[in-house]
Amino acid sequence: MRILLTGGAGFIGSAVVRHLIQNTTGVVGNIDILSYAGNLESLSPVSASSRYHFYQVDICDASALAQVFDEFRPTAIMHLAAESHVDRSIDGPAEFIQTNIVGTYTLLEAARSYWNGLEPDVKAEFRFHHISTDEVYGDLEGTDDLFTETTSYAPSSPYSASKASSDHLVRAWQRTYGLPTLITNCSNNYGPYHFPEKLIPHVILNALAGKALPVYGDGSQIRDWLYVEDHARALVEVVTQGKVGETYNIGGHNEKRNIEVVHTLCDLLEELAPLKPEGVVQYRDLITFVKDRPGHDTRYAIDASKIQRELGWVPEETFETGLRKTVRWYLDNSEWWQRVLSGDYKLDRIGASKV
C-alpha cells in the first residue's frame, strides 16, 4: 500500500497515520497545510519512520497536488482534510466552503488525472476514500431512530452543509467519471491528541485549571461517541476491503447526553486527579450552562451494522474504557497540550516537508 492522506496532522488523520505506520507495512504520505488544528507533534511517535513522508500543501493548490501525486505515486487516497468545528463555521463559514468544498473538488480532479494515467492493473486497485461525518444527516427526531447509509441529508450548520456538499461531489465523480470512491460517515470522535477546543479535551483542561466547564443549553444533546483509534482501524478496513461506490457508517455504539459526558469526566478526574486547583471543592461545581448554539441538533446516532456485517469491524473500546484512557492520556501528556494552548506547537512548521 502507498496511502496518501490529506489532513494527516489533524486529530483523526494523525491517528490513522500512527495506525498505518505502527500496524501495517504500508508507505504513508501526509498532505497537510498545517492550519491551527494541524499539529506535527501528534505524529512524533512515527515521524522518523522511513515509510512516512510529509508534504505541507494546501489541497486547494492544484499544481502542488499534482506534484505530490507524481512524486508519491499513491495506490489509495484517504481524504480527511477539513475544517470541522461547528462554532467556527457559524462565525466564519467562508473557510469551510473553501476547504471542504473547493478543496475536495481540487483533490478529486488531481486524483482523477493521476488515476487516468495509471497502468490498467494499478488503476483497477486504486481507491479514493472520503471521510465524512454523521452531521450531514441533520437531527434525529425519534429516540430510537438511527442514521443509516441511506438516510436523507439535512445538514444544519455551515460545517455540516459543506461536508454534505463534499460527499455529493465524491459520489458524482464516481458516477460520472468512474473514479473508484468510497465514503464513510462517522460519529463524534474522542481520544488522545484531540485539539482542546472540542468538548472532551476542553472540559478536561478547563477542570485541571479550575476554569468554568461550559455546557450548551441544558446539556441534553445526544451524541454517539467513537474512540479515535477504533475509528482509525475502521478507516483502514474500508480503504483496503470496502466495495467501490459504497458508503459505510462508523459509530461507537455509545449514545450519551452532553451533560452525562461532562459528569463522567468530572468523576474520572476526581479519581485520577484528586489534587484540585485552589478553591475547587468538586469538579462538578465548575459546570456552567451557557446559551445554546444556533441550530444545535438534538440527537445523532449511528447504525454501524453494515460495516460490522460486511467488513467485520466493531469498536474495541466502550465509552467507559475509552474515556478513562483519554483522561489518563491528558494527565500523562501535559507537555503536548500545554504547547497547543501556548501556541508553541506552531514553531516547527517552517521547512517541515519531508519528501
Domain boundary assignment for the chain: 2-193+226-253+300-316+342-348
How many other CB atoms are there within 10 angstroms of residue 82's CB atom?
25
Q: How far apart are CA 55 and CA 335, in angstroms?
A: 25
Residue spans of beta strands (DSSP E) within 116-221: 127-133, 181-186, 188-190, 213-216
- Provide the terminal-to-terminal Cα distance of the chain, rounded to the nearest Å: 17
pLDDT at 348: 65
* Whether 134 is catalytic: yes
Prediction pTM value: 0.94
* Residues of the chain below pLDDT 70: 142-143, 348-355
Q: Which CATH class is domain 2-193+226-253+300-316+342-348?
A: alpha beta
72 phi and psi angles, rounded to 5 deg: -85, -35
CA distances from 20 to 216, 235, 236, 300, 334 (A): 36, 10, 8, 29, 25
Q: Which of 41, 58, 83, 134 is catalytic?
A: 134
Query: CA 22, 27, 33: angle at the middle one, nearest 5?
Result: 95
**Is the torsion defined by CA of 303, 306, 325, 36 positive or negative?**
negative
Q: Which of 52, 55, 159, 193 is catalytic?
A: 159
The answer to whether 133 and 186 have CB atoms below 8 angstroms apart is yes
DSSP letter, residue 161: H
Q: Which of 32, 58, 135, 167 is catalytic?
A: 135
How many other CB atoms are there within 10 angstroms of residue 349's CB atom?
15
Query: Which residue is associated with the grid cell 458516477?
Result: 175
Among 235, 211, 322, residue whose Cα is nearest residue 19: 235
Among 205, 220, 233, residue whose Cα is nearest residue 315: 233
* Whether 159 is catalytic: yes
Among 295, 157, 156, 292, residue whose Cα is nearest residue 216: 292
